[in-house]
Amino acid sequence: MLINWRVITLPTRPHNANRGPMTQAVTHPAFEFIRTHTLDSLKLRVEEYRHKATGAQHIHLAADNNENVFLVALRTVPHDSTGVAHILEHTALCGSQKYPVRDPFFMMVRRSLNTFMNAFTSSDWTAYPFASQNRNDFYNLLDVYLDAVFFSRLDELDFAQEGHRVEFAEAENPQSDLVYKGVVFNEMKGAMSSVGSQLWHTLCKYLYPSTTYHYNSGGEPEHIPDLTYAQLKEFYRTHYHPSNAIFMTYGDIPAAELQARFEDQALRHFESLDEVISVPDEKRYYAPIAVEEAYPLEDSEDLGNKTHVVLAWLLGKTTNLDEALEAQLLSNILLDNSASPLQQALETSDLGQAPSPLCGLDDSSREMAFVCGLEGTRLEDVAKVEALIVETLEKVAQDGVAQEQIEASLHQLELSQREVGGDGYPYGLQLILHALTAATHRGDPVAQLDLDRALSELRRKIADPQFIQKALRTWLLDNPHRVRLTLRPDPHMSARAQAAEAARLAALKSSLSEEQQQAIIERTQALQARQLQVDDESILPKVGIEDIPPHLHYTPGSQEQLNGYPLRRYSAGTNGLVYQQITAKMPALSQQQLQLLPYYCICLTELGVGDKDYLATQRWQAEVVGSISAFSSIRGAGNDVQRVDAYITLSAKALARNNGAMNDLMQASLQQVRFDELERIRELIAQNRARREQSVTGHGHSLAMTAACAGMSPAAKVAHELGGLAGIAAVKALDNRLADDAELANFAQQLAAIHQLVLTAPRQFLIVGEQEQLDSYRDQLAARWPGEPVTPGFAAFSLAPVSARVREAWITNTQVNFCAKAYPTVPLDHPDAAPLTVLGGFLRNGFLHRAIREQGGAYGGGASQDSNSASFRFYSYRDPRLEETLNDFDAALEWLATSELQPQSLEEAILGVIGSIDKPGSPAGEAKSTYQAELFGRTRELREQFRNRIVAVTLADLKRVAATYLQPEKASLAVVTHAGNRELVQGLGLEIKTL
């Protein structure tokens, strides 16, 4: 998986009181102890070791947490854009010395109870992380990962499959055209369809003129075919060596026990490598530069306002913690919220549609970068955008900012340091990734985790009234290493790129001898045979059904009354933070009001309140809370998806000392929000449009599935209309309409009318915090909400039943396809929901992964049951094919019906489902998830019942539910594709819609 690491905020997790104290550090004889450092604020001990023979570094975060995490990182520094590090990351996981099977990584995904498994390629490192709560499972995965990284087979056919290859369009016909194939090749075609990705990589090309960041480590599709198999193997030899490795672990397994495994399974086979892999200092500019490039944009109604303009400065080293925090504080002061001076200038300027998605501090590279700019500008206004930014910075440098704003930004830094993580990635992995940048560049990873000293030093510095002015001049205004990048749309660029690729392939074909043509055919045949071979999976370690914990992990909470309001309180280790939600039953809405619901939720926390305008309110929020937001939830009932329930929730978090102030802010936001700030509303819609338009190429498979399911239940229809592809089309049309002042005023009145309905709705409260504070939190809340108002005649939200087939093709700017096919099934409480859920993993593991990813070249594909919409969905992600993939969805069902199914495959599918159900989150996240689930009647008993049904699924169940529900005449189709496939999708009978 390719990632571009941006700012990573540091989470924390408290000591687990149910465990004993951490043991003292013990060192394995093959390692030497360097140091240990206890971090009281994180409730863990950092231990650093060095492998004596190779110099490999081991950083262990000893914590009383049974979700143990492992990561091994290699410094990978490519010097071109062929994607060598990225392709190597994929190929290394395709079989190793001890496990000479074709796909040990994906086999282990389904043979374990992992809470996380993946591999990452960043700009200057490649990492292989996993996590598990089961110790045997952890060691199984460790064994496979160590062998994959240090003893990979790097089979040339795997390089062809994962990286790139040429084949004849008709596999055995040398008269047909040559085509490029490869998983990474197609993945990067999809990734580089995103304008944000093109903007970032183009900027890096100029901001980093001489170091590895100049290149696209994921690979540019134009350059990926230049990479040879020999170059891949040489890169592996020099970079995948323990002398260039960083081992990082987290959890309650002692370091010496882990080191024994490292030594026995890998390190004892190596000696020190003299070559040192590192990134040198970047060559600095003596004066700012301005560059202009283009990006492809087709089928746009207006190319005049589609230009992106960004300014970027190269700052200091990320390994200097004091400088890094200083730069982060400066970035926060300038850009943190709408009241921040630079953010305000960008949001309110009529020179562009919205602030650039790149705005902020990037600290993922050896040297930091600060970026700001606008999207949706006109080419003739580029100089004006630059002037706007520089003039704003000059004004701040001259006038400074209020001390309250500086304190608020420091408050945000402190809150991000204290907050518990674990909802996206495992908590331990978040800590490890935070320290990895420093370790990669041979800095101090302990200092990256122990921010208390650095924050104290920063607090001392801001006492100087000239601190921000000096920092701004040092880092930005007096810094000549500045790049102005203009990225303009070109409607013909995509066609030229396709023509160039076709010409390159045609030239290659014309140069082939008969022997070379035959070699291509034979390699195609060999790869197909390899993809179809059945490996002996028994050589891989595994866990089984017997290893599944007997019960669902459940976070209990109180059920009580607060002055007549229902209240739920949850005790959780939040490390000094408090979380609160106010949830209102959604009122009955007209169809027109329903279409405006997403915009109402956006505006609720982004407008002014009472006598404060939105700028004053944004400053208030920054001083008091870490975040405040509103969202709506519409779900079908567990026994009937045609019957919906719905809520609107206002959610916030704060440091414990600010709980009372957070209560005041939330109450004011709900009761006194202003819908008279028309220009602010216009800005918010424009920004939302920009963000959602950019989301398509990254979430195309989800959007396609949502579209395919839109005819299967009322909630699914609303999800498509509000949050899906239809919602994106709707916000574009709305943004265009709001240019008319009368339309804008009417829109604001409609939002206000929705709010008046929400104010009449019954409401309830959630509090999550540490046990000793919960009574105080309740009392403070009770003082502000003296009693529930009587709301006679309140009409609750409802929707008409929905049952329709969908056949749609959505045309957008993408080089790849996203395909989805969906069938109506059953809701969550139906006994067949469990076998349908298991069936998704079973089809993915047994057929779809091979057909769609390995043979078809898509980055991903699979199937899943969505019981919320009562639908079963097939999907593909960043897929070079379209019709063939739709045929593969059907072929998967034929395979299921005609094959002799294996019990081991069933067990693997069950393990995958249970792993996703049992995956832990942050303490606060688990409490909030339980609260929201129980709002919709998902009690502990019902969730446990569903989990038990999963474990009891049989092979006969899988065939039965597939035959019962997945019938061709009931299928719906939705694809996201490009204009070049217009005739193809018309031929498939799909209705064409354009984004």
Lowest mean pLDDT of 5-19, 339-353, 677-691, 896-910, name the range: 5-19
CA distance 953 to 871: 19
**φ, ψ of residue 894 in degrees (nearest 5):** -65, -45
Backbone angles phi, psi at 124, to 5 degrees: -140, 10
Residue type, 962: A
**Three-state SS letters, 725-755:** HHHHHHHHHHHHHCCCHHHHHHHHHHHHHHH
The per-residue pLDDT for range 227-246, each reduced to its tens digit, is 999 999 999 999 999 999 99
Banded pLDDT at 14 (limits 50, 70, 90) = very low
Q: pTM here?
A: 0.92
Is residue 789 scored above 70 in pLDDT?
no
Q: Where do the H-state alpha helices sit in 126-284?
A: 135-150, 156-162, 183-191, 195-207, 229-239, 255-265
At the second CATH level, the architecture of 560-784 is 2-Layer Sandwich (3.30)
Residue 655 has pLDDT above 60, yes or no: yes
Pick the CATH number of 289-422+431-490 from 2.102.10.10, 3.40.50.1970, 3.30.830.10, 3.50.50.60: 3.30.830.10
Alpha-carbon dihedral sign for residues 835, 838, 840, 844: negative
Tens digit of each residue's pLDDT (9 = 90 or more) over 562-607? 999 999 999 998 888 999 999 999 999 999 999 999 999 999 999 9
For 50, the 3-state DSSP assignment is: strand
| Distance, CA of 486 to chain centre | 27
Sorted by sequence, the CB contacts under 8 Å of residue 368 that are 6+ apart come out as 314, 315, 316, 317, 318, 324, 327, 361, 362
**Is the confidence at residue 178, as pLDDT, over 50?**
yes
Alpha carbon distance, N-terminus to C-terminus of the chain = 27
Pairing of strands 289-296, 482-490: parallel
Is the pLDDT score of 5 beyond 80? Answer: no
Q: What residues contact residue 415 under an 8 Å CB cut-off, 6+ apart?
A: 577, 626, 653, 654, 655
Q: Are 773 and 656 in contact (CB under 8 A)?
A: yes
Apex 290 CA angle, 289 and 292, nearest 5: 145
Q: Where in the chain is the domain with CATH 3.30.830.10?
A: 32-271, 289-422+431-490, 560-784, 807-994
Residue 23 — pLDDT band, cuts 50, 70, 90? low
Read off the DSSP letter of residue 850: I
Nearest to 82 by CA among 211, 234, 223, 214: 223
Q: Average the pLDDT over each of 258-262, 484-488, 789-793 and give the range with the smallest value.
A: 789-793
91 pLDDT higher than 80: yes
Res 8 pLDDT > 60: no
Name the one residue in this structure whose structure tokens are 């959890």: 251
Q: Which residues carry out catalysis?
A: 89
What per-residue string of b and e applies to 569-595 under the rule 16 or more CB within 10 Å gives b?
bbbbbbbbbbbbbbbbbbbebeeebbb
| DSSP string computed for 374-426 | EEEE-GGGHHHHHHHHHHHHHHHHHH---HHHHHHHHHHHHHHHH----SSS-
> Would you place residue 2 in the very low, low, confident or very high pLDDT band (cuts 50, 70, 90)?
very low
pLDDT at 288: 97
User: Mapping DSSP to helix (H, G, I), strand (E, B) and coil, where does residue 873 land?
Assistant: strand
- Residue pLDDT, tens place only, 542-568: 999 999 999 998 999 999 999 999 999
Calculate mean pLDDT across residues 503-513: 96
Q: Which of 165-174, 449-458, 815-824 has the highest mean pLDDT?
A: 815-824
Question: Residue 976 and residue 968: Cα distance in Å, rounded?
Answer: 21
Tell me: pLDDT of 358 over 80: yes
The reply to whether CATH 3.30.830.10 applies to domain 807-994 is yes
Looking at domain 32-271, its CATH superfamily turns out to be: Metalloenzyme, LuxS/M16 peptidase-like (3.30.830.10)
Residue 9, pLDDT score: 32
pLDDT reported for residue 6 = 29
Cα–Cα distance for residue pair 482/371, rounded to 1 Å: 10
Tokens of 727: 């919602």
Least confident of 299-303, 346-350, 638-642, 876-880: 299-303
Q: Which residues of 522-534 are buried (b: 16+ CB within 10 A; e: fewer)?
A: ebbeebeebbeee
* Token pair belonging to 244: 């260039």
Residue partners of 492: CB distance under 8 A and separation at least 6: none
Q: What is the mean pLDDT of residues 527-545?
A: 91
Q: Any idea what DSSP says for residue 220?
A: -
Q: Is 855 helix (H, G, I), strand (E, B) or coil?
A: helix
What average pLDDT does range 57-71 have in this prediction?
Answer: 96
* Least reliable range by pLDDT among 14-23, 667-676, 983-992: 14-23
- The pLDDT of 707-728, averaged and rounded, is 96
pLDDT for residue 24:
59
What is the CA 93 to chain-centroid distance, rounded? Answer: 22
Query: Which amino acid belongs to residue 726?
Result: A
- Residue 300: pLDDT band (50, 70, 90) is low
Q: Is the dihedral of CA 632, 637, 641, 642 positive or negative?
A: negative
> Which of 41, 748, 701 has its CA nearest to residue 418?
41
Average pLDDT score over the chain: 93
Q: Residue 877's CB: how many other CB atoms inside 10 A?
A: 24
Q: What is the pLDDT of residue 347?
A: 95
Cα separation, 851 vs 680, whole angstroms: 49
Interacting residues of 748 by C-beta distance below 8 A, sequence separation 6+: 675, 676, 678, 681
Residue at token pair 């490649």 = 126
Residues, the chain, total? 995
Residue 615 has pLDDT above 90, yes or no: yes
Compute how many other C-beta atoms are within 10 angstroms of the C-beta atom of residue 470: 12
Residue 866's pLDDT band, with cuts at 50, 70 and 90, is very high
21 pLDDT exceeds 80?
no
395-411 pLDDT per residue, tens: 999 999 999 999 999 99
Average pLDDT over residues 255-265: 97
Residue 455: band (very low, low, confident or very high) from pLDDT cuts 50, 70, 90? confident
- Give residue 79's pLDDT: 96
Report which residue type is found at 959: K
Residue 317 has phi, psi (to 5 degrees) of -80, 140
